[in-house]
Amino acid sequence: MYAVIQSGGKQYKVARDQNVAVERLTAEPGQEVAFESVLMVEGEDGVKVGSPLLEGAKVTGEVVAQSRTRKVIVFKKKRRQNYRRRAGHRQQQTVVRITGIEA
């Protein structure tokens, strides 16, 4: 059984007992979170697709950690102008273990 959820403007295909890194959520490690924006669920009864969301469907999970992604380097240069700018960015993320899918 798997589901497609939406969180932070992105879509994720999730299954039970899977760890998923989503955009930062305001929850502490160990807390339960629920994703109400479920787009599709595949299970024993077949595939259920919402338009755009499934009514009454919910995916629950437990927050494992608050972390950051790898650093992305932004480098700008204009040749022959002695212009160089370097910046880095690390996006914050939340790692969630999926505990249940309800259709």
Name which of 55, 56, 69 is nearest 22 in CA terms: 69
pTM of model > 0.75: yes
Query: How do residues 61-93 score in pLDDT, each as one tens digit?
Result: 999 999 999 999 999 999 999 999 999 999 999
Cα distances from 45 to residues 5, 42, 49, 54, in angstroms, run 19, 8, 12, 15
pLDDT for res 45: 87
Where along the chain do its domains lie?
Answer: 2-102
